[in-house]
Amino acid sequence: MKYLLPLYLIVFPFLVSAQTKSSEKLNFQQRRIQNLYLKKKYDKCIAVGYNNISKGYLDRLSYYYLSLACYELYKKNKNNYLLNRSVKYLNNSHFKTNELVNKIAINNEQTLKEIHLNLIDLAKSDFEQNKSKYQKKLKYAKDIFGDTINYVSLWRPTKIYKKTDSNIPREIKLIGNQFFNHLSELFDNGYFIKNSFSSYLTNELNINLNNVESKMLNKISTFYGLSEIEGKKHNNQIISFFHELGYNYINDDETPWCAAFINYCAKKIGAQYATGLRARNWMKCGKSSNKPSIGDVVVFGYGGKNSKSGHVAMYISEDFDSIYCLGGNQSNMVTISSYCKSDLLGYRKLIIN
């Protein structure tokens, strides 16, 4: 017993020193938001945390406790807005890569698992109603939690229509709205990772494509799902589109890149592409097309004739008031999206240089 006291006296200073060193890593505002969360004062925790961030402080720990506080309120109120905020703040916290936040997150392992599971449940509820919403949630699941499960294939098995089928929906034969939905399902299920997009269109659905259209659609389809990275990090693949075209001074994925993407793909297949990085420049490239077909370039303009803003992508299909396009920088990613016909500037057919 007489040896225990001296040993305690030797070890105790080191324990105190370690605790003090750990606490010194938190500044006053960080300690405040942490204490508010631990005391279950979630509303106050959110108010303080949001105030910290709104002042321009990129405080990963504030983001982290904002996320946890929002989730605790979500459990109580079942308000999906709170879960969405929780996930967004958690993504901004970089809890897996930020050393300080990562150490603290170890104590909240169960809560983080719950956030993950609820995120997937919410994505599933959005699945049939809002494509962009469920895609964004699944992207968060992948980026935050490393979840690479193909939930789309689990939630809705894909029907692969062939020209020999007698029950192909009329809308698909006519390239209408259902055709857009059908192709979206195939892309989301990864069908075109192993199968040629153009071959499916020509061989299975009897859609006529020339050589340049086939090459362009196949090139673009290889990038399906490519997306921007939120925060300070940037997707190097998107940056490479700019660099390949000679714009080496652009080193972020937040600069509008729809035209850079179409230009890049056209260049890679040896087709003529527009000068500059404006979508509207495509109106002076290729050949005019009055009757659009899949594989044509479609150009949109916003803000009137004097505006320079717009969008460019590949025509897929259309209905009464919408045009469906495969392109880049559509909801910040390469995907199929709809655009209003009222914004249409024109269609262009690709030509080889």
pLDDT digit string (tens) for the chain, length 353 residues: 444 444 444 444 443 333 334 444 788 888 999 999 999 999 999 998 888 777 766 688 999 999 999 999 999 988 999 999 999 999 989 898 889 999 999 999 999 999 999 999 998 888 777 666 788 888 889 889 988 887 876 676 555 555 455 554 444 444 556 677 788 888 988 889 889 999 998 888 888 899 999 999 999 999 999 999 887 889 999 999 999 999 999 999 999 999 999 999 999 999 999 999 999 999 999 999 888 889 999 999 987 666 788 999 999 888 777 888 999 999 899 999 889 888 999 999 999 97
227 vs 141, 156, 233, 257, CA distance in Å? 14, 23, 12, 11
CATH entry, 19-145, from 1.25.40, 1.10.490, 1.10.1790, 3.30.70: 1.25.40
Whether the full predicted model's pTM is greater than 0.85, yes or no, is no
Q: Which two tokens stand for residue 125?
A: 């509820």
Neighbours of 47 (CB within 10 A): 15
Beta bridge pairs of residue 311: 300
254 vs 10, 54, 239, 277, 331, CA distance in Å? 55, 21, 9, 13, 12
Domain ranges for the chain:
19-145, 209-349
Q: Is 249 helix (H, G, I), strand (E, B) or coil?
A: coil
- Among all chains, which residue has been given the structure tokens 């069908």? 191
189 vs 149, 160, 181, 325, CA distance in Å? 11, 11, 12, 18
Q: Is 199 helix (H, G, I), strand (E, B) or coil?
A: helix
Superfamily of domain covering 209-349? endopeptidase domain like (from Nostoc punctiforme) (3.90.1720.10)
Q: SS3 for 294-308, per residue?
A: CCCEEEEECCCCCCC
> Is the separation of the CB atoms in 343 and 261 below 8 Å?
no
Q: Which two tokens stand for residue 42?
A: 């979630």
> Is the separation of the CB atoms in 331 and 279 below 8 Å?
no
Q: What is the predicted pLDDT for the residue at 261?
A: 98
Vertex 196: Cα angle to 324 and 283 (nearest 5)? 40
